[in-house]
Copies of this chain bind each other. A is one copy, B any other.
Amino acid sequence: MAQPTHASIITIGDELLIGQVIDTNSAWMGQALNNAGIWVKRRVAVGDSWNDIWQALDEESKHADIILITGGLGPTADDITKPLLCKYFGGKLVVDENVLAHIKYLFEKVFKRTPPFLDRNLKQAEVPDVCTVLHNANGTAPGMWFEKEGKVYVSMPGVPVEMKGLMTDLVLPRLQRHFTMSAIVSRTLLTFGIGESFLAERIKDFEEALPAAIKLAYLPNYGMVRLRLTGTAAAASTITPEIDKQFEALKKLLPDVMVTDKDEPMEKVLGELLLAKKKTMATAESCTGGYIAHRITAHAGSSEYFRGSIVSYANDVKETLLDVPHEYFTTVGAVSEEVVRDMIKGVLREIKTDYAIAVSGIMGPGGATPEKPVGMVWVAVGNKEEITTQLFNFRFDRARNIEMTAMNALNLLRKFIIEH
């Protein structure tokens, strides 16, 4: 089996170690590198400490051919990365005239700042004279490309939009020219509503019979399990037919629990289904507080099938906007099949869509009663003719209960549309 080119990602910043910031950059970089045929072997986060950054560079040089560094390039005094890189690669800091002109342009014309330019910002235009400067179209700190003993090191700012722009426009194309890449080909399918061990039991024989060049991974998350087949070869064309053959065989084993054979989220699958059928939807949300609507509208083009939502967090909003009868709140209670049924009817009437989702539940940690514990949720999906309801009992914390409610509601509507 051909070995892919190996990369290490070094992320710099105390804020990552202390947990004040969640590292979303590394996931994005992992996907982008993987698609380009580069295998991320390790990811390391270190603090704003000279010794720790220096050691990380030394160590990751032993593990990988490509070392990508993000963070530590801001204009403030706690950033030591640039002088360190300068010393590590044996250069000296010089002002780059192109970078300086770009920073001045951004400050004067784009940010329209007063005062437009500070002495402190002059330092931002300095780069080690031993690097190739990579133009950062989205910010002030440029990317820096170093080469040493056959390895490539690229330093980029940690601001996601700046890192992504640099990676897409400059870093990935340059890496692909610099190295002879082996190909990594993967296929992913999404299952819902079956546990990891039961899934493993069902596809045990398939897994054991897989050729050595193809690896199966289980990626569980919020009631879903992604199954990913990955193969590595000198060229994509040598491994793709075998991967595709195995992937088709895997799909045939899981017709009842497979949501999609693409690597995309549940709400995207639902959206594509609605688009294909030229139908629209809305949501009436109590306990999820707008999260289902947010998940759907996070995707460009969702206005083609999503029309709106009534977030009826307070009970009397369920009454006035969705026409849920007042007496329900003293008889069956807000978390009941009756209420979510009427929420569906109300939102279909008010927002005039083909389909709707309604949810009402107790997300915790407060609000529970002996009869209605934290994690109890009623979900309804339907259209004007028919409504399907389901009761869930999740056992998690607030954030995860909200996530599980949303994912199950989206899946219920997906199944409802397929069946109707």
Contacts and interface: CB of A to CB of B under 8 A. Distances in A.
Interface of A: 14-24, 26-32, 34, 39-48, 52, 55-56, 59, 63, 74-78, 110-111, 113, 118, 120-121, 124, 138, 159-161, 164, 186, 188, 195-201, 207, 215-221, 226, 228, 230, 263, 283, 285, 288-294, 296-298, 300-303, 306-314, 317, 320-321, 350-352, 363-367, 395-400, 402
A306 B18 CA distance: 31
Contact of A23 (B18, B26, B307, B395): B26
**Chain A contact residues, majority secondary structure:** mixed
Contacts of A110: 395
A20 B76 contact: no
Given A18-B30, A18-B186, 12 more contacts: A16-B27, A17-B42, A20-B27, A42-B56, A111-B195, A113-B198, A289-B302, A290-B291, A291-B294, A298-B402, A308-B312, A308-B321
A20 B263 contact: yes
A311 B309 contact: yes
Contacts of A396: 161
User: Which of A14, A17, A111, A364: most chain B CB closer than 10 A?
Assistant: A17
User: Which of A160, A197, A398: most chain B CB closer than 10 A?
Assistant: A197
Contacts of A291: 290, 294, 297-298
Contacts of A320: 350, 352
Contact of A293 (B217, B289, B363): B289
B44 A42 contact: yes
A405 to B, nearest CB: 12
User: 4 shortest A-B CB distances, which residue pairs?
Assistant: A289-B297, A19-B30, A290-B290, A290-B293
A218 B365 contact: no
A26 B41 contact: no
A400 B160 contact: yes
A98 B15 CA distance: 39
A19 B23 contact: no
Contacts of A311: 283, 290, 293, 297, 308-311
B161 A218 contact: no
Contact of A300 (B28, B352, B366): B366
A217 B42 contact: no
A321 B350 contact: yes
A167 to B, nearest CB: 12
A221 B23 CA distance: 12
Contacts of A399: 298
A220 B76 CA distance: 11
A218 B289 contact: no
Contacts of A27: 16, 19-23
A307 B286 CA distance: 10
Contacts of A15: 217, 219, 226, 228
A160 B220 CA distance: 11
A111 B113 CA distance: 58
A307 to B, nearest CB: 4
28 contacts: A16-B30, A17-B40, A17-B42, A18-B34, A20-B263, A21-B27, A21-B221, A22-B24, A43-B44, A43-B45, A75-B197, A78-B215, A121-B197, A159-B220, A289-B297, A289-B302, A290-B291, A290-B297, A291-B294, A297-B311, A300-B366, A300-B398, A301-B366, A308-B310, A309-B309, A309-B310, A310-B310, A310-B321
